[in-house]
Amino acid sequence: MFDIDGPRFVDAQGRHAILRGVNLGGDTKIPLSHAGSNPPRDFSDHRDVSFVGRPFPLDEADEHLGRIRGWGFNVLRLLTTWEAVEHAGPGQYDQNYLDYLTAVCAKANAHGLAVFIDFHQDVWSRMSGGDGAPGWVFEAVGLNLAAFDAADAVHVMQQRYDYASPERRQEDRYPMMSWPRNYQMPVNGVMWTAFFAGATLTPDWRVGERNVQDFLQETYLGAMRAVAERLRHLPNILGFDSLNEPGLGWVGQKLSQRRVGPDAASAMPVWPGPSWTPLDGLKVARGLSATVPVMARGEGRAMQVAGETVLNPGGVSIWLEDRPDPFEVAGAWSLINGQAVARDEDFFRVHEGRALDHEHDFMAPFFARVAATIRSVREDWLLFGEMCPYLMLQGKTFPQPMPQRTVNASHWYDIEILGTKSFDPDLPHDEDRQRYAFQLGFIRAMGLSMRDGGAPTLIGEFGIPYDLNHGEAFERWAEGERGPGVWRAHSQALGAMYDAMDGLLLSSTQWNYSAANANDLRIGDGWNQEDLSIFSRDQTTAADDPASGSRALEGFSRPYVQRGQGEIMAVAFDAASACLTATIKVDATITAATELFVPSWRYPNGVKVEVSGVAAQWSHDEDAQVVAVAAEGAGTLQIALTPA
């Protein structure tokens, strides 16, 4: 459906295209059997789970996909996970799930939706506080996942949250938005370091005949190939994401130096809670206790020490059968007379006299392997590349060279809104708008510098929590209030984000559409108390209501230029007047018209279109919600669309 030409997406007629879509969906991170308000506390069934029915039952596909298309989206970032494909064991691909995923993609094609596949992960795996890798991977590399919680090696909602309590928010047990703290903890430190740097740092750590890094990457890519082979015949598949928000592990950190925030050596933030060093993590993994400071946000949200805690007081090892720690074997540290002693403070920073560069040394070859894997199935597929998003805090960009036909699919959020779940629509937000333009402009520049001629940027994730302001909108809805006023805060926040992306002509896929979402602070998108879904069953109204199921429709269902008869030069939308303006540099060799998505619910009496600069004719297909503007020659075409 779409290809790339330098820094632009283009369609089959050569028109500059803007891809505007949604992630489908947040509840895809967990199997159906673990859904609901009281999921299983352990993961003993990890080999027997099923993800068939994620993101929705197949008999509901037309309903959901038709709604997504009707709201103006033309692309899906479709989530799957390594666990969904290969949960039963290495090389045992779930054929029923692959059948199901293929059917979902075929349904998307029937609705005119392009798709790129996202092998999703957050903090490595469900068993380490997120989603992604199957449980048997831990066993394969020598870790005992049944010991993780007892050893304080992970921070997992299923094991820390009291589901029997009526309290929805439990800041003392499982603080809101606390799952990222797992990146500092032992299991994530071990797994991400092994995945990207195992061959360099732990050459003797082997799984069978392969180094641990080769085992992990080859197995992951095998699951990706299994999906690719099923989807190769579908014309709407654009390609694959490399790996959602890859972690850094301990690479770049000093062994025992404690940090209070991102610095030149490490981009990883320090989150509220225990403050770990790599040595703390290695000690706890080995079965030793560790006393560490506890961080909290003080005045101005700056991190500060608020106390200390003892981790793993029971002395539980997470290594299976007390096998040796590969990092200890490789010379990072030693256990002498029961005490942990650092042997090489720069073990994770310097190798053979040279400073390690995570992106150049580890991500560049990984990108190449992903590209080779998917293009061994279909040569024309695009690679949607992602780095660790925290690296942007250091001003870092993609390594060179990147594989040909790579899209910059970086993520962007307003961290203040995401972290506090609050937004006041009555305050001025001019500074926020300036910040959005600056930050998104930097991400766009990452794409432009990716190769000679530039590469397109598609913001792979952005969005807002819908339980803003302590779930105020949910309460108002439950009390019977309807209309856009319920979602005013959400619509304003989203509108400012889309305004910034319009100004930079960025494509995007908003996070997210969860078919099983509920207006419940305990459930939300079904995962770690996140609630960013633009859809909820609790918001369904009448079948003929275009807003049915939506949250803040005014914020995300907006007119925009989907395809330009040449190059799209500028787009702006004013929500107050419902006026869309656009400038197109018309290419006389392109005969297909410029197409604007125009949501009928915003323009119940139709539209008025004024054109200038180049002679042009326009037409309005109200059923398709498309205004077509056909220029009669080359030049600069200016379009102004307003309500009739």
pLDDT at 301 over 80: no
Which of 556, 579, 610 marks a domain boundary?
556
User: For the segment 552-591, what is each residue's pLDDT rounded down to a tens digit?
Assistant: 999 999 999 999 999 999 999 999 999 999 999 999 999 9
Backbone angles phi, psi at 561, to 5 degrees: -85, 110
Look up residue 42 and give its two tokens.
């352990």
| Residue 300: pLDDT band with limits 50, 70, 90 | confident
Q: How many domains does the chain have?
A: 2
Give a yes or no: residue 330 inside a domain.
Answer: no
| Residue 541: pLDDT band with limits 50, 70, 90 | very high
> 427 in the Ramachandran plot: left (φ > 0), alpha (ψ -120 to 50) or beta?
beta
Note the pLDDT of residue 393.
82
CATH at 623? 2.60.40.1180
Residue that the structure tokens 């024309």 belong to: 380
pLDDT at 329 over 90: yes
List the 75-80 sheet strands across, edge first. Answer: 406-408, 382-385, 237-241, 114-119, 75-80, 20-24, 507-513, 458-459
| Residue 285: pLDDT band with limits 50, 70, 90 | very high
User: For the segment 141-159, what is each residue's pLDDT rounded down to a tens digit?
Assistant: 999 999 999 999 999 999 9
Note the pLDDT of residue 298.
85
Task: Tell me the mean pLDDT in the region 428-440.
Answer: 97
Q: Coil, strand or helix: which one is 326?
A: helix
Note the pLDDT of residue 266.
75
Which of 511, 531, 556 marks a domain boundary?
556
Same domain, yes or no: 529 and 639:
no
Distances (CA, A) of 396 to 68, 260, 350, 358: 34, 20, 19, 11
pLDDT at 260 over 80: no
Q: Chain-centre distance of CA 100, in angstroms?
A: 22
What is the number of alpha carbons within 13 Å of residue 360 lying toward its C-beta? 7
| Residue 270: pLDDT band with limits 50, 70, 90 | confident
Note the pLDDT of residue 176.
87
pLDDT at 265 over 90: no
Note the pLDDT of residue 259.
83
Q: Coil, strand or helix: which one is 123?
A: coil
Which of 524, 556, 588 marks a domain boundary?
556
Q: What is the mean pLDDT of the chain?
A: 96
Give a yes or no: residue 582 inside a domain.
Answer: yes
pLDDT at 213 over 90: yes
Q: Any idea what DSSP says for residue 298?
A: -
Note the pLDDT of residue 413.
97
Give a yes or no: residue 315 inside a domain.
Answer: no
User: For the segment 619-634, what is each residue's pLDDT rounded down to a tens digit?
Assistant: 999 999 999 999 999 9
Task: Tell me the mean pLDDT in the region 462-466.
Answer: 98
Same domain, yes or no: 88 and 210:
yes
Same domain, yes or no: 209 and 104:
yes
Backbone angles phi, psi at 381, to 5 degrees: -70, 145
Give a yes or no: residue 335 inside a domain.
Answer: no
pLDDT at 35 over 90: no
CA–CA–CA angle 35, 39, 45 (5° rounding): 95
| Residue 263: pLDDT band with limits 50, 70, 90 | confident
Q: Any idea what DSSP says for residue 483?
A: S
* Distance of alpha carbon 80 from alpha carbon 83, whole angstroms: 8
Same domain, yes or no: 462 and 509:
yes
Note the pLDDT of residue 448.
96
Q: Which helix (H) or strand (E) holds 508?
A: strand 507-513
User: For the segment 554-564, what is each residue's pLDDT rounded down to a tens digit?
Assistant: 999 999 999 99
Q: Any idea what DSSP says for residue 549?
A: T
Residue that the structure tokens 């909602």 belong to: 157
Q: Output 347 or 41, whichever has higher pLDDT.
A: 347
Cβ neighbors of 543 (< 8 A, separation 6 or more) are none
Same domain, yes or no: 46 and 188:
yes
CATH at 54? 3.20.20.80
Helix and strand element counts for the chain (H, E) = 15, 28
Same domain, yes or no: 525 and 575:
no
Q: Coil, strand or helix: which one is 190?
A: helix
| Residue 367: pLDDT band with limits 50, 70, 90 | very high
What percent of the chain clears pLDDT 70, i.e. is strictly above it?
A: 100
Note the pLDDT of residue 394.
85
Same domain, yes or no: 394 and 506:
yes
Give a yes or no: residue 318 inside a domain.
Answer: no
pLDDT at 47 over 80: yes
Task: Tell me the mean pLDDT in the region 538-560.
Answer: 96
pLDDT at 543 over 90: no
pLDDT at 370 over 90: yes
pLDDT at 640 over 90: yes
Same domain, yes or no: 399 and 456:
yes
Note the pLDDT of residue 160.
94
Look up residue 614 and give its two tokens.
């180049």
Give a yes or no: residue 7 inside a domain.
Answer: no
Query: By C-alpha distance, which of 288, 295, 280, 290 is closest to 310?
Result: 290
Note the pLDDT of residue 572.
98
Query: By C-alpha distance, which of 259, 245, 500 is closest to 392?
Result: 245
Same domain, yes or no: 215 and 191:
yes
| Residue 299: pLDDT band with limits 50, 70, 90 | confident
Note the pLDDT of residue 450.
94
| Residue 267: pLDDT band with limits 50, 70, 90 | confident
Rg of the chain over Cα atoms, rounded to whole angstroms, equals: 25
Note the pLDDT of residue 437.
98
Q: Coil, strand or helix: which one is 199?
A: helix
| Residue 123: pLDDT band with limits 50, 70, 90 | very high
Same domain, yes or no: 504 and 581:
no
Task: Tell me the mean pLDDT in the region 28-55.
Answer: 93
Give a yes or no: residue 552 inside a domain.
Answer: yes
Q: Chain-centre distance of CA 231, in angstroms?
A: 22
Q: Are 21 and 510 in contact (CB under 8 A)?
A: yes
Same domain, yes or no: 64 and 209:
yes
Determine the structural domain holding residue 608 and report its residue range: 568-643
Same domain, yes or no: 487 and 633:
no
Give a yes or no: residue 443 inside a domain.
Answer: yes
pTM score over 0.95: yes
